[in-house]
Amino acid sequence: MLWLYVAAAGAGALLGLLWLRVIAVLVGSVVLVTATVAFMTVRQFPLLEVVVNVLMLLATLQFSYLVALMLPAARTRAASHDPVDASTRRM
C-alpha cells in the first residue's frame, strides 16, 4: 500500500511542476481511484478501508499537486522582489 501513496505524491508533484491544469489532475484522480479499487478488491479489503484509502490517496495527490504548483511561483516572486529606493517612494 505504501507504493500507492508514493506514486500518488510523485504523480501530483509531477503534474504540479509541469503546470498541468485541472483536467490532468482529474484524469490522474480517476486512474488512481481505479487502480486502488482494483488492487484492494483483489486483496479483499473491507469496504470502509477501501473508502478511507481512496480518500487519503486523493488528498495526497491533490496536496502534492498544489505544493509543486506553488514552489516555482514562490521562487520567482522572491527573486523579482526589489526593494523600493527612497527616490521612487510616494508620500
The domain ranges of the chain are 2-71
Cα–Cα distance for residue pair 62/66, rounded to 1 Å:
6
**Rounded to 5°, angle at Cα 15 from 29 and 30:** 10
> The cell 495526497 sits on which residue?
60
- Sorting pLDDT into bands at 50, 70 and 90, what band is 1? confident
Residue 77 has a pLDDT of 61
pTM of the model: 0.77
Q: What grid cell was written down for 31? A: 486512474
Return the H-helix or E-strand segment holding 84. Answer: none
Cα–Cα distance for residue pair 15/67, rounded to 1 Å:
11
Report the share of the chain in percent with pLDDT over 90: 64
More confident: 81 or 43: 43
The model's pLDDT over 18-44, given as tens digits with 9 standing for 90+, comes to 888 889 999 999 999 999 999 999 999
